[in-house]
């Protein structure tokens, strides 16, 4: 049984569900799930949990995500990207300076309240927002708090004098639930000029980045060699103190019993036979189960 995380470099034009479906067929495994949907036209890191690693999906969501992308001043769409219906255009007669753009980005950094795009998978009254949008039904979109750790300009903005448009490249590091499309749209609002996202790549998610990513083709051509494309479950817990258990301790842990450890850390990863078998958390000087991974082999 395979247990681990595929750091997939998702191609543009595929949904996240398409990727899971294809992996199920390639690997002949049902127990697969992705951590963090990517829009079809966004490429980059899509972590996919397999086997025992599916227990990590909720934890995977809690780690920051990083993106690089491009935007354009002078146009606004209902989807906040180029796939949507154009709602507004405005000639950029005087291009923005880098400092003006950076200043707008800084106002959207930190903990902010964000409204998701109408074309998104957020649920309202049991239906996805995009379902309301396709049926042209007005609906109140929920505002929620997200955190933007970094929103930066990554090069000089480019002005098209003939088209009266200005494009810019950016990098973003943010919490789960953040819509980068909305950050581009909101930047336009900060600068009083319509803006739209023109491209996006996710460079990191769930503690993994593009340098570790593989394609579906890589996996299909190396099905018999998972070491070439599968990240072990243990790699996800790189930032947690790991404790090796002796036989007596493991006998207690595999039955879910609490154990005493002379450790200062509130949370520890417990390893036996070179594999993490459980995450324990300290409560009243006793470490007790937080997450069990006994089938991590």
DSSP for residue 214:
B
The CATH 3.30.2350.10 domain(s) of the chain lie at 4-63+206-235, 65-205
What pLDDT does residue 65 have? 97
What pLDDT does residue 126 have? 81
What pLDDT does residue 45 have? 98
Mean pLDDT value across residues 97-125: 91
**Domain spanning 240-292: CATH superfamily:** PUA domain (2.30.130.10)
What pLDDT does residue 128 have? 85
Q: Is the pLDDT of residue 50 over 90?
A: yes
Instruction: Tell me what percent of the residues of the chain surpass a pLDDT of 70.
Output: 100
Helix (H) or strand (E) segment spanning residue 289: strand 286-292
| Rounded-to-integer distance, Cα 177 and Cα 237, Å | 22
Tell me the fold of 65-205: Pseudouridine synthase (3.30.2350)
Instruction: Determine which one of 18, 39, 81, 285 is catalytic.
Output: 39
What pLDDT does residue 138 have? 80
> Which residues, other chains included, contact 103 with Cβ-Cβ below 8 Å and sequence gap of 6+?
none
Q: What is the pTM of this model?
A: 0.93
Q: What is the pLDDT of residues 212-253, one digit of tens each?
A: 999 999 999 999 999 999 999 999 999 999 999 999 999 999
Q: Is the pLDDT of residue 125 over 80?
A: no
Burial of 81 (0-12, 13-18, 19+ CB in 10 A): buried
Q: What is the pLDDT of residues 137-181, one digit of tens each?
A: 888 888 889 999 999 999 999 999 999 999 999 999 999 999 999
For residues 112 and 183, the answer to whether their CB atoms sit within 8 Å is no
- Residue 39 designated active-site: yes
Q: Does domain 4-63+206-235 have CATH number 3.30.2350.10?
A: yes
Phi, psi of 145 (to 5 degrees): -85, 130
Q: Where are the beta strands (DSSP E) in 37-135?
A: 43-50, 65-73, 75-77, 86-89, 110-114, 123-124, 127-128
């Amino acid at each position: 049984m395979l247990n681990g995380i595929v750091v997939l470099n998702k191609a543009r034009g595929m949904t996240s569900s398409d990727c899971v479906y294809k992996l199920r067929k390639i690997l002949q495994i049902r127990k697969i799930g992705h951590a963090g949907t990517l829009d079809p036209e966004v490429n980059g890191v899509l972590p996919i949990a397999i086997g025992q690693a599916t227990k990590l999906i909720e934890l995977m969501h809690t780690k920051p995500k990083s993106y690089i992308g491009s935007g354009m001043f002078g146009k606004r769409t209902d989807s906040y990207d180029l796939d949507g219906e154009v709602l507004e255009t405005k000639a950029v007669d005087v291009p923005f300076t880098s400092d003006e753009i950076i200043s707008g980005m800084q106002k959207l950094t930190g903990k902010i309240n964000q409204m998701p795009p109408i074309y998104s998978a957020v649920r309202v009254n049991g239906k996805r927002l995009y379902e309301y949008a396709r049926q042209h039904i007005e609906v109140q979109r929920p505002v929620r708090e997200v955190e933007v750790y970094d929103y930066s300009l990554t090069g000089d903005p480019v002005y098209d004098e003939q088209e009266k448009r200005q494009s810019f490249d950016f990098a973003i590091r943010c919490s789960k639930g953040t819509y980068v499309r909305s950050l581009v749209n909101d930047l336009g609002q900060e600068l009083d000029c319509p803006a739209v996202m023109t491209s996006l790549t996710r460079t990191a998610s769930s503690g993994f980045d593009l340098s570790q990513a593989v394609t579906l083709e890589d996996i299909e051509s190396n099905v018999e060699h998972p070491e070439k494309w599968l990240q072990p479950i243990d790699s996800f817990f790189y930032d947690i103190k790991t404790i090796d258990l002796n036989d007596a301790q493991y006998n207690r842990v595999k039955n879910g019993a609490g154990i005493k450890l002379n450790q200062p850390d509130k949370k520890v990863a417990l390893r036996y036979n070179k594999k993490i078998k459980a995450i324990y958390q300290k409560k009243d000087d006793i470490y007790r189960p937080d997450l069990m991974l006994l089938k991590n082999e």
